[in-house]
Amino acid sequence: MSVNAKVVIVGCGISGIAAAHRLVNAGFQHVQILEATARSGGRIKTDTLGRKLNAEDVYPAEEMFYELIYESSKFESQGGEPWACVGDFIRSKAEQRAAEKWKNIDAATRCLRLCVISNMLKVECCFNGAHSMDEVGLGAYGLYKTLPGLDCTFPGGYEGLIKNLMSELPRDLVTYNRPVRCVHWNNTEKEENALMIECDDEKKMAADHVIVTVPLGYLKKHHSTLFSPPLPLHKLHSVERLGFGTTNVIYVEFDSPWWDADCENIYLVWEDEDGMVDQVPDVQRSWIKKLFGFTVLKPTERYGHVLCGWIAGHESEYMETLSEQEVTHTMTQLIHSTLRLTVCLGNPTVTPRRALRSQWFHDPWTCGSYSYPGKGCSVQDLENMMEPLPTDGSLLQPLQVLFAGEATHTCYFSTVHGALLTGWREADRLISHYSSSINSKPLKSNTDV
């Protein structure tokens, strides 16, 4: 079909691109993406670049932790929240089970296993994008679903996906460096101006529909000025209840590896964290302790000898304020202190060549990394996030404002595939709307379509 309705998409991330693809391929003739920055991809961005514990010390703690994670995901289907957050549940249950299962082992080993659980809590912080698992609601934790299949690494980096998708769209479809200041919707004064998009350069664009794909972090910070009239209260409350945190990566390059050839991950366990903590008391002095460990980038022929470190929360946000030289220095100290405690991990004088890091919290267009279900959050909040405006269906133009992005998916939130699927979803909503309108009246000629 050929549709003349004008559709503006705010944001050229994966969700916005996906929506544009769906609409263009369905025959929409006037689709425009407004992107605030000078690039496509949004939060998809590719940059180039102690002692070793025994398995018997680690596996019992990991087994217990993953049992508790599995149990944490069941409260959503069972109903009821005996604990307010995932962190409280895991600590409470871990202390109870450690006293039962490990009562016959020595105190030092039991303490070490609790420190391993502390490390695993930090891992979960990075997976969830939360400062602490105390901020993740227990009742909604089970809403997240893992997409089946294996993880995949793109040879040219994740941006290769963006480049391929963009190559299939018309070249003039995206206007870069055009931030949107306000979406004026629900204007009943004049039918032709029911929806108006105002940009920072004071340029105004009339549209029939707008698909808003901005990150939840940006929406939390700017919702009061981004929409006129403001968002309905039920949608605003859902924006507030959903969590949006920061997870950053730190790439550390070496001249030669100091880890074992078959090593895939390195986890950092601190011996003074048997209290199962996932945050540090002194961020400025000890932010590095929030780094849960490293992923070894493979193959070496492609990446060289590079480790990818993971860090979340306020410690991650503070790390962003440091210079790359300061980050490299701190990573060097960490590596040296680790190697001094290591018997079999190579040369203790090894020094990183350089360190590169992401800085998602201080990016003004993202304000963090990705969403998670906060305390008191439910599936209703995610459904509210995806609800189009206006909601009563009685105004001049239906489906004026539509919402896409990872934070609007009911089970794949925080993921790229969730963002992609929501872009398709909102495009399909418009396609269905116009298909119904076209099929409800007789067509006189192709030009009528």
Tens digits of residue pLDDT in 280-313: 999 999 999 999 999 999 888 888 899 999 999 9
Please state the CATH superfamily assignment of the domain spanning residues 3-45+158-243+371-443 in this structure.
FAD/NAD(P)-binding domain (3.50.50.60)
Residue 304, SS3 per DSSP: coil
Residue 249: CB atoms within 10 A of its CB come to: 18
Q: Annotate 145-209 with DSSP letters as a single string.
A: -PPSS-----TT-THHHHHHHHTTS-GGGEE-S--EEEEE----S-GGGS-EEEETTS-EEE-SE
Which two structure tokens, joined as six digits, stand for 434? 């116009």
Each residue's pLDDT expressed in tens, for the chain with a length of 449 residues: 788 999 999 999 999 999 999 999 999 999 999 999 999 999 988 765 477 888 888 999 999 999 999 999 998 766 667 898 999 999 999 999 999 999 999 999 999 999 999 999 999 999 999 999 999 999 999 999 999 998 877 877 889 999 999 999 999 999 999 999 999 998 765 556 689 999 999 999 999 999 999 999 999 999 999 999 999 999 999 999 999 999 999 999 999 898 888 999 999 999 899 999 999 999 999 999 999 999 999 888 888 899 999 999 999 999 999 999 999 999 988 888 776 544 344 454 578 888 999 999 999 999 999 999 999 999 999 999 999 999 876 556 789 999 999 999 999 999 999 999 999 999 999 999 999 766 665 444 333 32
Cβ–Cβ < 8 Å for 113, 98: yes
Contact 75, 141 (CB under 8 A): yes
Q: Which residues pair with 370 in a beta bridge?
A: 245
Cα(344)–Cα(342) distance, rounded to whole angstroms? 6
* HEC secondary structure over 314-377: HHHHHHHHCCHHHHHHHHHHHHHHHHHCCCCCCCCCCCCCEEEECCCCCCCCCCCCEEECECCC
Q: How many residues does the chain have?
A: 449
Residue whose pair of structure tokens reads 């990075």 in the numeric block: 126
Burial pattern 372-382, b for ≥16 Cβ within 10 A else e, equals bbbbebbeebb
Those residues whose C-beta lies under 8 Å from the C-beta of residue 34, and which sit 6 or more positions away, are 8, 9, 10, 11, 175, 178, 179, 180, 197, 199, 205
DSSP, collapsed to helix, strand or coil, labels residue 234 as: helix
CATH 3.90.660 segments of the chain: 55-149+247-357
How many angstroms separate the CA atoms of 179 and 117, rounded?
A: 43
In this prediction, residue 85 carries a pLDDT of 94
- Residue 84, CB half-sphere, CA atoms under 13 Å: how many? 4
C-beta neighbour count of 35 within 10 angstroms: 25
Give DSSP secondary structure letters for 381-445: HHHHHH--B-SSS-SSSSS-EEE-SGGG-SSSTTSHHHHHHHHHHHHHHHHHHHHHHHHTS---S
Domain with CATH 3.50.50.60 in the chain: 3-45+158-243+371-443
The residues pairing with 389 across neighbouring beta strands, listed in sequence order, are 401
Task: Indicate whether this model's pTM tops 0.75.
Answer: yes
The architecture (CATH level 2) of 55-149+247-357 comes to Alpha-Beta Complex (3.90)
pLDDT at 77: 67
* Distance from C-alpha of 407 to C-alpha of 217, rounded to nearest angstrom: 10
| Per-residue confidence (pLDDT) for residue 183, from 0 to 100 | 97
